Chain A
Amino acid sequence: MRRWWIVLLLGLVMAAAPAGAQARRIVVYSALPDLETSLINREFTRRTGIPVEALSVAAAGTLAARIRAERDRPRADIFVGGSADFHAPLAREGLLLPYRSPVAREARVSPAFLDRDGYWHGWYLGILSIIVNTERWDREMAPRRVPKPATWDDLLRPEFRGQFIMPSPVTTGAGYIFVAGQIFRLGEDRAWAYLRELNRNAAQYTPTAPGTITLLERGEAVVAMMWAHEAIGARRLRFQPLEVIVPPDTAFEIGAVSILRGGPNPEGARAYVDFLLTRTPQDINARYGFRYPVRADVEAPAGAPPFESVKFVRYDREWAIANAERVRERWTREIGR
């Protein structure tokens, strides 16, 4: 038997040894897509001279679980992106470091977008909307003179039977915020009646939020409930035939950033939070991610309705976070999907 190729393989394995750690760098766990993450980080390094090592996963829940698993020895300094609903429980478990960025005060960011105790800073916003695949609509719904859905109640139309999709409330933030929004809109009992009726139209509840957009792009459904910014991005960057309709009484997410307690470089982490609240990163996020900035002096994303023009339901975020488990349990029992 020849031995040299085993030596070769061993050599390959040896070459896998980690590169030496850079001084002063910060490590960022990002729930934003690759593109926005790398553009924002490049700008941060240019401004501050602090190098960034980023891990970008399009699922905030996965990163939060990772942060929990690493609680004994945190690897990262920053958790950025994802709804505040993912950051708040981490704060409760004592995994976050409080900080009040002076930039938030200077820029007069609404206190509604900041954690009362300083554990997380909201720096972008996303709104829930109705999304239509126009290609299939024009072919199948328009000839039958079905009016386009304009309100949440329009989603109950019998024509949409088996043609509606949305992210699962059990497994995604988008789905849960939608269900909580319906509870705030209708009151608990009527909300569940509404959801049961909507369930008759639902083809499926996608386990991940991007899955809804993917299926809608593919024409596996005609109508969906999803983040407006995901659909606008799909339309403007990938030329998908999607139309965004923002109904009244919708809900929004606060995209947050937080500092991990016990991370290697808390000083750099604070600089990163300050930086995210300045104009440039919010502009990058609006331009490439189509998410709303929290700063009034940054332009809203192209193709999205002005944030002030949207009619929001009175969304009690603290109630929503505190009751998440109970609501999800009831969903599983009553909807069973």
Chain B
Amino acid sequence: MGRLGVVAAGVEARRQLADPGLALAFVGGAAALGLFVLYPTVRVLLYPTLHDYLTIPHSVRWIQAARNSLVSTVLSTSTAVLVGLAFAFATSRPDVPGRRFFRTVALLPLFAPPFMVAFSYILLFGRQGLVTRHLLGLDVNIFGLHGLWLVQTVAFFPLAMLVIAGVLESVSPSLEHAARNLGADEWQVARTVTLALARPGIAGAALVVAISVLADFGNAVVIAGGWPLLATEAWFRLEGMADLRGASLVVAMLVVPTTGLFLLERYWVGRRRYTTITGRGGRLERPPTYPPLKWAAFCVCALTSVLVLLVYLGVVAGAFTAVWGRDWSLTLDHWHLASDRVGSLWASLRVAAGAGLVTAVAGILLAFLTSRAVPLRRALDFLAVLPGALPGVFVGVGFVLAFNRPPLELVGTPWILVLALAFWHLPLGYQAAVAQLQQIDRSIEEAASNLGARGLHLLRDVYLPLLTRAFVEGFTVSFVRAVTNVSIAVFLVSPGNVVATFAILNMIGNGIWGGAAALTTMLLLVTFAALAVARLAAGRALRPVPVG
């Protein structure tokens, strides 16, 4: 191997780029990543001086924040992935009761601006909580680690579910039948077939969730109390102290653990092949689910669903309640207040649609590129996942620093918000596409290749039809996260295009809870309507593609 291997890889890379379409895609993908991921990142990281970096170990608060971030990430990621797995399992089994309901409920937290989840829980489970105090008569302090753990689990398990479900649903039932025929008991089937095949999904999910938790500021800022965390510390540096340098230092500290997570995921997932969509087709009925497993999943999903629905109950109740938490009489006053800001809803939708589209297309294109032996494959792969490691404030500041001057002067236009959100969410679209690509048997491509398909034709004719699910999921996740985003919007919103979450955050900041709840409810309604249209339009594309 060694030298010979390197030479062989070089030859292969040159062979790949000989195709003009693929070469063009490569140049485009690399340029986009370089411009919208690498450049803003470098701009922020080089903002502090070396001397600034050397002061990090001397700051008690930052060390504390780093430790706290680690603890909350381990806790929240574990529970979020477990719950996400339960949901993905339940929704991929036709015989689990309420699976459609669970799938819908699981998507709900993605529509809530994160601070809304946390706020609703303070209202329901805090010292004056509707549930804790008025129903149960308890005196509970929800602020701190346990509150954050609960809120982040509820807020981030949908991400885990989306990634795992994409993989679980494409596991062919024939493998389970085969295992059973070979004498495996139900537990063995679940462990050695279903779970084993879901491993790229679970690993991908853990990666995405862990990074989201690390970078999560919306929940932490509301519910972590006096508990310093890296993501919020970066925000406070800016919010309270206008200290760009300190903020870029703190987020630089965040990049270390996220890089670690990235390498771990590669190593763990990369060890086995997970081909289950084969050219030899065959659709079998799913065998009945092992009852203890079925009911365990059902219970987890049911309990979580109650927690999710409570968030929404709080928000909708708040939109119609005269004085939140004090005077519970019904009113429509808040809706008048919110209707002044209807323009912000449209701004949100336009921005999010653009971001979703860019994320999905770029995600698939890059996943396809990195599945080939193109040059700089590892670098491209790293850059495609990197944005998920960056907190929103970091990306926001990076884009301002990078695109405030000619030749690419984007600050003040909606485009900068679209691009920042699209590339910040790129890992979601990319991971979904990668997980899906790993499921596709090379023999299909070889068949097409033998029939004369080359380069981009392979992507278009062979992979795209199979990747429609990845596209829809990449678009959906990016869209909804863009709609609910605040941390980036705070920096890139300009006086002419204020998005809805930004308006809501302002209202919350000013204590106008009712108006904020009403505007959030409006945002949810409009978002659901927009998604329904997208789903309807993509409905045909979502139908099973005949294989082989």
The answer to whether the Cβ of B226 comes within 8 Å of any Cβ in the partner chain is yes
Write the A30-74 contact mask toward B (1 if CB under 8 angstroms, else 0).
000111000000000000000001111111111011101110110
Q: A34–B506 contact, CB under 8 A?
A: yes
The digit string for A1-44, where 1 denotes a CB below 8 A from any CB of B, is 11011101110110111110000000110000111000000000
Of B143, B327, B510, which is in contact with the most chain A CB atoms at under 10 Å from its CB? B510
A171 in the interface (beta carbon within 8 A):
yes
Question: Are A62 and B490 in contact, with the CB atoms below 8 A?
Answer: yes
Is the Cβ of A73 less than 8 Å from the Cβ of B405? yes
Residue of chain B at shortest CB distance from A209? B240
Which of B122, B239, B507 is close to A62, meaning CB atoms less than 8 Å apart? B239
Enumerate chain B residues within 8 angstroms of A34, measured Cβ to Cβ: 506-507, 510
Chain A contacts to B: CB under 8 angstroms: 1-2, 4-6, 8-10, 12-13, 15-19, 27-28, 33-35, 53-62, 64-66, 68-70, 72-73, 75-76, 86, 89, 168, 170-173, 202-205, 207-208, 210, 213-214, 217-220, 233-234, 238-241, 328, 332-333, 336-337
Given contacts A171-B241, A240-B326, A332-B60, contact A69 B404 (CB under 8 A): yes
Which applies to chain B's interface (DSSP): helix, strand, loop or mixed? Answer: helix
Is B412 positioned at the interface, with any CB of A under 8 Å from its CB? Answer: yes
**Within 8 Å CB of A57, what residues of B?**
490, 506, 509
Closest 9 A-B residue pairs measured CB to CB?
A: A171-B240, A64-B242, A58-B509, A5-B537, A171-B236, A13-B354, A53-B495, A16-B350, A204-B226
Contact between A332 and B123, CB atoms less than 8 A apart: no
12 examples of A-B residue contacts, CB within 8 angstroms? A16-B418, A28-B495, A55-B498, A59-B509, A61-B238, A61-B239, A61-B241, A86-B242, A171-B241, A204-B143, A219-B127, A219-B128
B contact residues, range: 35 or more
- By a CB distance below 8 angstroms, the chain A residues around B325 are 217-218
Please name all residues of chain B whose beta carbon is closer than 8 Å to the beta carbon of A8 when the two chains form the complex.
537
Nearest B residue to A207 via CB reads B236
With both chains docked as a complex, state the minimum distance between the C-beta of B358 and any C-beta of chain A, in angstroms: 9
Contact in complex: A207, B239 (CB < 8 Å): yes
CB distance from B435 to the nearest CB of A (A): 20
Q: A55 to B493, Cβ gap below 8 A?
A: yes
Q: Is B225's beta carbon under 8 Å from chain A?
A: yes
Question: Is B491 in contact with A66, judged by CB distance below 8 angstroms?
Answer: yes
**A2–B226 touching, CB < 8 Å:** no
Residues of A within 8 A of B354 (CB): 9, 12-13, 16
Contact across chains for B541 and A59 when beta carbons are under 8 A apart? no
Instruction: Kindly state whether residue B271 has any CB partner on chain A within 8 Å.
Output: no
> Once the chains bind, are B357 and A9 in contact (CB under 8 Å)?
yes
Known A2-B537, A5-B537, A9-B353; judge A336-B64 contact (CB<8 A): yes
Q: A4-B537, A18-B412, A337-B226 are in contact. Are A171 and B126 (CB under 8 A)?
A: no
CB of B70 within 8 Å of the partner chain: no
| Cβ-neighbour of A213 out of B226, B404, B511 (below 8 A) | B511
Closest to B475 in A: A9
Contact B397 A69 (CB under 8 A): yes
* Cross-chain contact A239 with B323 (CB below 8 angstroms): yes
Question: Beyond the given A13-B354, A59-B509, could you list 18 further A-B residue pairs with CB under 8 A, ordered by the A residue number?
Answer: A2-B537, A6-B357, A9-B356, A16-B347, A17-B414, A18-B413, A57-B490, A61-B241, A62-B239, A62-B242, A65-B238, A70-B400, A170-B240, A204-B225, A207-B232, A207-B235, A207-B236, A332-B61
Do the beta carbons of A75 and B494 come within 8 Å of each other?
A: yes
Contact of B239 among A59, A68, A205 (CB under 8 A): A59
- Bound complex: CA of A54 vs CA of B506, how far in Å? 13
Q: How far, in whole Å, are A2 and B122 apart by their CA atoms in the complex? A: 45
Interface centre among B236, B241, B247, B512 (most CB of A within 10 A): B241
Are the CB atoms of A70 and B350 closer together than 8 Å?
Answer: no
Interface centre among A6, A218, A240, A336 (most CB of B within 10 A): A218
Report chain B residues within 8 Å CB of A203: 141, 143, 225
B507 A170 Cβ-Cβ under 8 A:
no
Q: Is the pair A239, B326 in contact by a Cβ cutoff of 8 Å? A: yes
For the complex, give the distance between the alpha carbons of A214 and B223 in Å. 12
| B404-A220 in contact (CB<8A) | no
**CB neighbours of A328 from chain B (8 A):** 241
Q: How far is the CA of A8 from the CA of B511 in the complex (A)?
A: 38
Bound complex: CA of A54 vs CA of B239, how far in Å? Answer: 19
Contacts of B241 on A, CB cut-off 8 Å? 61, 170-171, 328
Tell me which residues across on chain B come within 8 A of A66, comparing CB atoms.
400, 491
Judge whether A69 and B498 touch: CB under 8 Å.
no
In angstroms, how far is the closest chain A Cβ from the Cβ of B61?
Answer: 5
